[in-house]
Structure 1
């Protein structure tokens, strides 16, 4: 188990499972900073630029995903310098690789290499049994099950601890806090000198 100075908690999973809302609640609870999902910000900027020009919805490129993974990781590492014991991240570069797979049907070596350099202590994976809420940007309602299963599969293989966050919206924040507290308690226990 990794027990660094700042515990890095990353929320990943299918769309519309409450990840961003949980990030905000967790950051408030721990009086710390959180890192927003840069891929969404990037996509909204591309959509806005395209709507000014008129025409079709813009396409994703390999370079987009490489840039998103790099920028997500850069923002996370910068935020870690200002975190109060816990850093909360709404996705990471590893997740960007899985989104590339969702769109391209295959993995991308360069994106995966960036994701492999991620520092993660604990993943929280909200499950997709809650209702899908379309916000005008999301497109993955039909593949929520696949995305969730793929994240669980890949994180399970990575060996990084993870916790599923289940059930209705109410109670998810409490589950996430309990998971973080349990991880912090194990870290403190391991840090105690042997008698």
Structure 2
């Protein structure tokens, strides 16, 4: 039986390269990555989420991690976490509901490493993405939240190759 993989949280604002990084790391390590459920939710529901959707989104994300973990090798790369859902809940809905809070609080315990994708790649607008200004606000909120919670993180910046190299060096220590 394989040992449980180390869960690697990849968090950041919209359009900051989380999915590209998660997929690249999974390919490099011959393991799995868990895509961001929020994208699927928006596509399937045909709308942006409301406050009442936040727990469902975060718990589905977490359930998909749990389902993938037994099949992952060494690492499981997680494209976002319930902590990001909590940050967006604060931004858009003024707070975190009582069901979502414990999922966000588990971040420090559940993830071996936290990677924060810097908003330094070219921002591309589309119908479902936030403005560059909102992305900057979310990035600041994320860094503040990690500091308040005492969660260490690696800020990942640069082009995709630089990002992969930075994370590889971090994981090899």
User: By the TM > 0.5 criterion, same fold?
Assistant: yes
Cα distance in 2 between the residues matched to 1:70 and 1:83: 20
- The aligned runs of 1:7-156 (5 Å cut-off) are 7-47=6-46, 58=47, 60-118=49-107, 119-156=110-147
SS in 2 for 1:134: coil
Aligned equivalent of 2:166: 175
Q: CA RMSD in A?
A: 1.8
Aligned equivalent of 2:151: 160
TM-superposed CA distance for 1:30, in Å, is: 0.7
Cα distance in 2 between the residues matched to 1:63 and 1:107: 10
Deviations 1:30-58 (A, max 9, x none): 100110100111011122xxxxxxxxxx4
Normalised TM-score (structure 1): 0.79
TM-superposed CA distance for 1:19, in Å, is: 0.7
Q: What are structure 2's unaligned runs of at least 5 residues? A: none
Structure ID, larger Rg: 1
Normalised TM-score (structure 2): 0.89
Cα distance in 2 between the residues matched to 1:29 and 1:59: 33
Deviations 1:49-94 (A, max 9, x none): xxxxxxxxx4533321110111111111111111101010000111
TM-superposed CA distance for 1:139, in Å, is: 1.9
Cα distance in 1 between the residues matched to 2:60 and 2:4: 23
Moved more, 159-168 or 33-42: 159-168
Q: Report the count of equivalent residues.
A: 169
